[in-house]
């Protein structure tokens, strides 16, 4: 076990990405020795909303990836409309990161580790798109993990957010997930409310929105994601 | 503010009970048109869980979620050495109604769970999973969500069938269901325990896809409020 960690650390120092525990779940960038590390488990609680490959990062307390009532950043717009994480990750370049390799299907759990050697880099942000929607996403931002000691666990149930960057027309042409196969990111902002809010859920063709690409199976209520954080 | 949060968290982390406790518990059904079948409330140790989100339901949880039968799940918690209160409302808990009772916990039973079927649904249940019971004297209120056991298609057909593995909804205690529905959904895409996506209903009492009424039987989370008073 120790050997595996050392390998990961060495690769991290080389500023490379690596799959820390070689389990194919995703890529970490690590800091140096004396890391404060966390195991993060993400459980998709929806019936049929696959989550795009998530991005997670540790940072200092001066960063929030989104805020209710404020317009979404371009990074969140891209994430919420297409699942793309590169812009979000670039906002915290050089800090510990995790990016998933595959979707988290409904009912599935993704587990990964992330850690930092800088005691000020103790805040967690993670985000993922509900892909059978126009621009719904979920996650946590700027969660202070300082004060957790080895073995401590915290559990969060997170709501679906609406990025406010794309009108929720539910059209096949505009929903990128497998239920529709439409367009992902589009720089045009055409939502009636142009700030981040909670998401109201999808209507679906089974509830009277005749041209919706979605069925009752894609409907959801909050919370949509369960996050378990264990300080290692 | 940040300091306060940290302090609260530390207090919370340090609050794991080891000694026996006397708890007063009150549970309120927050829905507008759904009943809860008899509740099972249990204080148990860290290794016991009545249900686990993201995992398949046990057969005994399935029996509770599909038909409201808590007898086998109740035996499970007894076997695990839990302290329990079964059926505190002595029957159904109506929309807006509350039930209050006391629970004495033994040393080591530091986590509280509760379940009951949400009626009318196919396999929906209200569930709190392993809440660490606070130890400092005071009153604590929690919001609780509705889960889908993932074991039965949400067809929304009221046919009197509550047996595990049998399709259909046992009853609508409000008596506002229709008949003759063709069925809303086939098997869940997510067959692990997950947040219930809600019922869809329709407004046709003599047919349509659903026997439920979209104006009456829908809900949004949270569906229950639980207040624990630590003496």
Question: Does a structural domain hold residue A72?
Answer: yes
Q: How wide is the angle at C-alpha A139 spanned by C-alphas A135 and A140, nearest 5°?
A: 135
CATH number for the domain spanning A132: value is 2.60.40.2130
Of residues B35 and A5, which shows the higher confidence score? B35
Q: Is A130 touching B (CB cutoff 8 A)?
A: no
Q: Is A82 touching B (CB cutoff 8 A)?
A: no
What pLDDT sits at residue B143?
Answer: 97
Distances (CA, A) of A210 to A59, A130, A207, B200, B213: 44, 21, 8, 15, 20
Please, which residues have CB within 8 angstroms of residue B142's CB and are 6 or more apart in sequence? B128, B131, B225, B226, B227, B228
Q: Are A217 and B200 an interchain contact pair (Cβ–Cβ within 8 Å)?
A: no
Question: Does a structural domain hold residue A186?
Answer: yes
Q: Are A47 and B189 an interchain contact pair (Cβ–Cβ within 8 Å)?
A: yes
Chosen CATH of B19-230 out of 1.10.8.80, 3.80.30.20, 3.30.565.10, 2.60.40.2130: 2.60.40.2130
A-B interface: how many C-beta pairs under 8 angstroms? Answer: 84
What pLDDT sits at residue B5?
Answer: 36
Give dist(CA A61, CA A179) in Å, integer.
38
Total of domains in chain A: 1
Q: Are B194 and A222 an interchain contact pair (Cβ–Cβ within 8 Å)?
A: no
Task: Output the pTM of the full model.
Answer: 0.89
Q: Are B136 and B187 in contact (CB under 8 A)?
A: no
Question: Does a structural domain hold residue A30?
Answer: no
Among A108, A144, A224, whose Cβ lies nearest the Cβ of B2? A144
DSSP letters spanning A79-96: HHHH---HHHHHTTTTS-
Confidence of residue B19 (pLDDT cuts 50, 70, 90): confident
Give dist(CA B109, CA B111) in Å, integer.
6
Question: Does a structural domain hold residue A194?
Answer: yes
Query: What single-letter DSSP state applies at residue A201?
Result: -
Among A44, A108, A147, whose Cβ lies nearest the Cβ of B6? A147
Give dist(CA A186, CA A180) in Å, integer.
16
The residue count for chain B: 231
Give dist(CA A85, CA A63) in Å, integer.
16
Model confidence over B113-167: pLDDT tens digits?
999 999 999 999 999 999 999 999 999 999 999 999 999 999 999 999 999 999 9
Question: Does a structural domain hold residue A20?
Answer: no
Chain A: closest CA distance from residue B97 (Å): 23
B94: which 2 tokens? Answer: 């109506």
Model confidence over A140-195: pLDDT tens digits?
999 999 999 999 999 999 999 999 999 999 999 999 999 999 999 999 999 999 99
Question: Does a structural domain hold residue A59?
Answer: yes
Question: Does a structural domain hold residue A11?
Answer: no
Q: Where are the domains of chain B?
A: 19-230
Calculate Rg over the CA atoms of chain A. 18
Containing structural domain, residue A178: 37-231
Question: Does a structural domain hold residue A87?
Answer: yes
């Amino acid at each position: 076990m120790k050997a595996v960690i050392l390998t990961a650390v060495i690769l991290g120092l080389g500023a490379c990405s690596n799959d820390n525990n070689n389990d194919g779940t995703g890529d970490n960038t690590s800091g140096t020795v004396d890391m404060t590390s966390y195991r993060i488990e993400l459980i998709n609680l929806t019936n049929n909303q696959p989550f795009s490959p998530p991005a997670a990062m540790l940072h200092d307390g001066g960063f929030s990836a989104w805020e209710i009532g404020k317009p979404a950043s371009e990074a969140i717009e891209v994430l919420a409309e297409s699942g793309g994480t590169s812009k979000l990750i670039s906002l915290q370049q050089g800090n510990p990161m995790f990016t998933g390799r595959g979707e988290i299907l409904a009912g599935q759990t993704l587990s990964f580790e992330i850690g930092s050697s800088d005691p000020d880099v103790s805040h967690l942000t993670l985000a993922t798109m509900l892909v059978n929607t126009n621009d719904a996403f979920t996650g946590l931002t700027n969660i202070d993990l300082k004060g957790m000691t080895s073995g401590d666990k915290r559990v969060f149930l997170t709501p679906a957010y609406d990025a406010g960057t794309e009108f929720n027309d539910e059209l096949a042409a505009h929903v990128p997930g497998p239920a529709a196969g439409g367009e992902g990111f589009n720089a045009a902002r055409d939502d009636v409310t142009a700030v981040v809010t909670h998401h109201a859920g999808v209507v679906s063709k089974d509830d009277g929105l005749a041209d919706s690409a979605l069925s009752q199976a894609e409907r959801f209520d909050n919370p949509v994601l369960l996050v378990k954080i264990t300080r290692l | 503010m940040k300091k306060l949060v940290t302090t609260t968290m530390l207090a919370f982390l340090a609050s794991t009970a080891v000694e026996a406790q006397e708890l007063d518990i009150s549970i309120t059904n927050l829905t507008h048109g759904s009943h809860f079948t008899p509740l099972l409330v249990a204080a148990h140790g860290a290794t016991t869980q009545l249900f686990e989100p993201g995992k398949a339901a046990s057969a005994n949880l399935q029996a509770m979620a599909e038909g409201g039968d808590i007898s086998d799940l109740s035996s499970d918690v007894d076997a695990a050495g839990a302290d329990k209160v079964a059926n505190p409302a002595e029957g159904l808990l109506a929309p807006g109604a509350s039930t209050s009772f006391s629970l004495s916990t033994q040393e080591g039973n530091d986590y509280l769970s509760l379940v009951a079927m949400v009626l009318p649904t196919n396999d929906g249940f209200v569930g709190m999973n392993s809440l660490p019971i606070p130890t400092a004297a005071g009153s604590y209120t929690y919001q609780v969500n509705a889960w889908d056991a993932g074991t039965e298609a949400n067809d929304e057909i009221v046919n009197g069938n509550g047996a595990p593995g049998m399709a259909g909804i046992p009853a609508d205690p409000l008596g506002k269901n229709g008949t003759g529905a063709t069925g809303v959904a086939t098997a869940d895409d997510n067959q692990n325990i997950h947040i219930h996506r809600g019922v869809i209903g329709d407004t046709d009492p003599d047919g349509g896809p659903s026997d439920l009424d979209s104006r009456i039987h829908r809900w949004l989370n949270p569906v229950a409020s639980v207040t624990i008073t630590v003496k």
